[in-house]
């Protein structure tokens, strides 16, 4: 379900912006338009959407238009042209009252500079949006306390912002947004003012928090590593225009143009590839209660493999059998695979990073099973397919 839809959105700074819009439609670029009209193109006909529960990272270098774009979405900056929809409601058509109600009901915003009131306690800062909303004091205190607990600040509610570290101050800003219980979080360079270690901690905290609260998050960043870590999808901007939208792997392995290719040139591909993206479907499997050692051995010979994954009656992964063990059972005249099924085999989730796959596979000659949350076999990773996938992705960046 689409939570946010942005359609042909533009922002021009300066008088008579329609002149710049006309030039954009004629194919003129940002620099050409400024030289000709002294008008500045902040956003150039942007279009993308954000699904419910998704983290989309809008990124680009300084001056690319990413912060202007996010402020046009909640109309902190008025767009010059185009449309924005939230849950099907056209934000760009709302009057002042409707816009205020939408912001209070649907959107929370977290800024780079924390934007805390220095004379108010942590709790009072977290309560601020609820206070503006006119909520009963007891209820707003309860909701603010819950939001502080969500971001790990329980016990700090009576402190002043000056008594907190930068990372803790940013958590207060996040708690203030969460206290409103918005469907959407707009985060503008929220972690960029933090030192690298605290920044990584806050990224991990956001991922953990998202697993619990399932908000729709539009996150602005200039840091590609941050975008790759946080984003389900990435919107990459240059000179006010969107140049590519895609998953982290899409951006890295199929850059839309030379600019994107240069942008991602130094990224370690193994940090983005996952088990699901490098696995292959298992050529064949055995079934407990159905296949005996002869059938299992026949399947292995047909496909030129020496081990076979075995599934139970519910098609969950039960384990693995080896050809030599099957041959031994046949020699003894036994017909049941169960005694030789190896259950202590390494398994990984589909979203396991490729870097972790190397560690799991080291010293292990058997293929690596990729299983979903229900224990069902999704595919297998062998060292050859892993190295081949990395080499193939690497060639696309050369």
Which neighbouring-strand residues pair with 53? none
0.85 exceeded by the pTM? no
In contact, 310 and 281? CB cutoff 8 Å? no
pLDDT per position as a tens digit, 129-148: 888 888 899 999 999 999 89
Domains of the chain from N-terminus onward: 2-117+183-267 (3.40.50.300), 276-393 (3.10.580.10)
From start to end of the chain, where are the E strands?
A: 2-13, 40-51, 55-59, 81-86, 89-90, 107-110, 184-188, 216-221, 233-238, 241-246, 286-287, 307-311, 317-322, 347-348, 368-371, 377-381
Q: At residue 48, does pLDDT exceed 60? A: yes
Residue that wins the pLDDT comparison between 274 and 96: 96
With a CB cutoff of 8 Å and minimum separation 6, the contacts of 32 are: 23
pLDDT at 81: 95
Q: At residue 163, does pLDDT exceed 60? A: yes
What's the rounded Cα separation, in Å, for the pair 354 and 386?
8
pLDDT per position as a tens digit, 239-268: 999 999 998 878 877 888 988 888 877 666
Q: Hey, how many other C-beta atoms are within 10 angstroms of the C-beta on 371?
A: 18
Q: Quick one: CA dihedral 267, 270, 273, 274, positive or negative?
A: negative
Percent of the chain with pLDDT over 90: 36
């Amino acid at each position: 379900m689409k939570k946010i839809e942005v359609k042909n959105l533009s922002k021009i700074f300066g008088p008579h912006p329609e002149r710049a819009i006309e030039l954009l439609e004629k194919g003129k670029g940002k620099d050409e338009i400024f030289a000709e009209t002294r008008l500045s193109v902040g956003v150039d006909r942007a279009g993308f959407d954000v699904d419910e529960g998704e983290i989309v990272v809008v990124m680009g270098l300084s001056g690319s238009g990413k912060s202007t774009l996010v402020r046009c979405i909640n109309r902190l900056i008025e767009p010059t042209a185009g449309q924005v929809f939230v849950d099907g409601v056209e934000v760009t058509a709302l009057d002042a009252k409707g816009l205020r109600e939408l912001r209070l009901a649907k959107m929370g915003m977290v800024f780079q500079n924390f934007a805390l009131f220095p004379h108010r306690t942590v709790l009072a800062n977290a309560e601020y949006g609820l206070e503006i909303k006119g909520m009963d004091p007891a209820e707003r205190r309860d909701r603010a306390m819950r939001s502080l607990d969500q971001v790990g600040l329980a016990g700090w509610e009576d402190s002043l912002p000056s008594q907190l570290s930068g990372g803790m101050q940013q958590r207060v800003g996040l708690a203030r947004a969460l206290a409103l219980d918005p469907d959407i979080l707009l985060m503008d360079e929220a972690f960029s003012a933090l030192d690298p270690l605290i920044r990584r901690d806050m990224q991990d905290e956001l991922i953990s928090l998202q697993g619990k609260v399932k908000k729709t998050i539009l996150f602005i960043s200039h840091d590609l590593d941050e975008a790759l870590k946080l984003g389900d999808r990435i919107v990459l901007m240059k000179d006010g225009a969107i140049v590519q939208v895609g998953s982290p792997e899409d951006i890295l392995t199929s850059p839309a143009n030379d600019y994107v290719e240069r942008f991602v040139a130094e990224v370690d591909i193994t940090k983005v590839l996952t088990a699901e993206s490098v696995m292959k479907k298992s050529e064949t499997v055995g079934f407990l209660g159905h296949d005996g050692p002869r059938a299992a051995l026949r399947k292995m010979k047909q496909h030129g493999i020496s081990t076979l994954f075995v599934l139970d009656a519910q098609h969950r992964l039960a384990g693995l059998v080896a050809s030599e063990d099957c041959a031994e059972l046949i020699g003894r005249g036994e017909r049941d695979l169960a005694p030789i099924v190896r259950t202590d085999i390494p398994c990984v989730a589909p979203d396991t990073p490729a870097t972790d796959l190397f560690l799991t596979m080291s010293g292990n000659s058997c293929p690596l099973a990729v299983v979903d949350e229900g224990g069902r076999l999704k595919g297998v990773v062998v060292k050859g397919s892993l190295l081949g996938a990395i080499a193939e992705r690497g060639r696309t960046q050369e």
